[in-house]
Amino acid sequence: MQLFMQQLVNGLALGSIYALIALGYTMVYGTIRLINFAHGDIFMMGAFLGYFLIAELEMNLFVAMAIVMVSSAILGMVIERIAYKPLRNSTRVAALITAIGVSYFLQNIMIYFLGPEVQAFPSPIETQVFNVFGIIINTKQILVFVVTILMMLILQLIVNRTKMGTAMRAVASDSEAAQLMGINVNTIISFTFALGSSLAGAAGVLYGIYYNSIAPTMGTAPGLKAFIASVVGGIGSIPGAMVGGYLIGLLETIVTFMGGSMYKDAVVYILLIVILLVLPQGLFGKNTREKV
């Protein structure tokens, strides 16, 4: 039983990272119905910027994370303005292909300048281990979990308690009606990209601290799993993205615990297929039909 509880703790830490990335996917899709496959690579670039600030400039972790979040937010807005805004009235397939292109561009530009090798991420905090009723919890897991919960609470406050959050929900509901009501839709879309990208950047730093390694291709697998998490939770739903992230993290960890580490990715994709067949709108999504 203790071993099982130990895996739950490990799964919560991993799920926290997936949940942070998934929030960006779900906010962007909820606002402009775009699956931003470049989101995983913003996560990767956040990890590398965090590495540079902590390892090279010896910066404090939380100062570095704040700079990473601001930089990732700017990167997300620049990508939206250059790559996605001109295609806003195009087909969704065109925007989707552009998102994949941006993803490969970011990944390859990092490989070109830094090489494809895995880099060792420094440990900015002292790793201490605590034994709580036989369950081993270390300071990295506590850091990942606490920072994630804090960011989720702040995001909930922004979305539900601020004018920008109200405008985001209005644009997500009906962008044309929101524009007629005087809401600057372009500003809201940029703000949504900035918000989601800042969370992805923070997730990149947490991922580096948790696994002690980063690579230019690191955005692909966690990005895809975070996308699956947002679909499982109901893409467009912020609570759904959080729950989906934790669900995927726990599922992966439990499958590994049961000796199926080779199949943990396959199990996640099987879960996606099952959800799409049984509950296509996801756990928290709205059951809507769209004409193609």
One pLDDT digit (tens) per residue for the chain, 292 residues: 777 888 888 889 899 999 999 998 888 888 888 889 899 999 999 999 999 999 999 999 999 999 999 999 999 999 999 999 998 888 888 988 999 999 999 999 999 999 999 999 988 888 889 888 888 899 999 999 999 999 989 998 999 899 999 999 899 888 889 999 899 999 999 999 999 999 999 999 999 999 999 999 999 999 999 999 999 998 878 888 999 999 999 999 999 888 888 888 899 999 999 988 998 888 887 665 554 4
The predicted structure's pLDDT at residue 291 = 46
166 vs 289: CA distance, rounded Å: 25
**Residue 176 one-letter amino acid:** E
Furthest-apart CA atoms within the chain: distance in Å: 59
The predicted structure's pLDDT at residue 286 = 65
Q: Could you identify the residue written with the tokens 């950047």?
A: 201
- Residues facing 213 on adjacent strands: 120
Cβ neighbours for 82, distance < 8 A, ≥ 6 positions apart: none
In this prediction the pTM is 0.91
Collapsed DSSP state (helix, strand, coil) of residue 25: helix
Rg value, the chain, Cα: 19
The predicted structure's pLDDT at residue 288 = 58
CB 193 within 8 A of CB 76: yes
Q: Could you identify the residue written with the tokens 């993290």?
A: 249
256 vs 7: CA distance, rounded Å: 9
The predicted structure's pLDDT at residue 287 = 60
The predicted structure's pLDDT at residue 35 = 86
- Residues facing 136 on adjacent strands: 131
User: What are the percentages of helix, strand and coil residues in the chain, rounded to 5?
Assistant: 75, 5, 20
251 vs 258: CA distance, rounded Å: 11
What sign results for the dihedral spanned by CA atoms 171, 172, 173, 174?
Answer: positive
CB 171 within 8 A of CB 188: yes
**Residue 27 one-letter amino acid:** M
The predicted structure's pLDDT at residue 90 = 85
CB 37 within 8 A of CB 194: no
Closest residue by Cα to residue 99 from 150, 36, 53: 36
15 vs 268: CA distance, rounded Å: 13
Q: Could you identify the residue written with the tokens 């404090």?
A: 60
171 φ, ψ to 5°?
-65, -40
CB 12 within 8 A of CB 145: yes
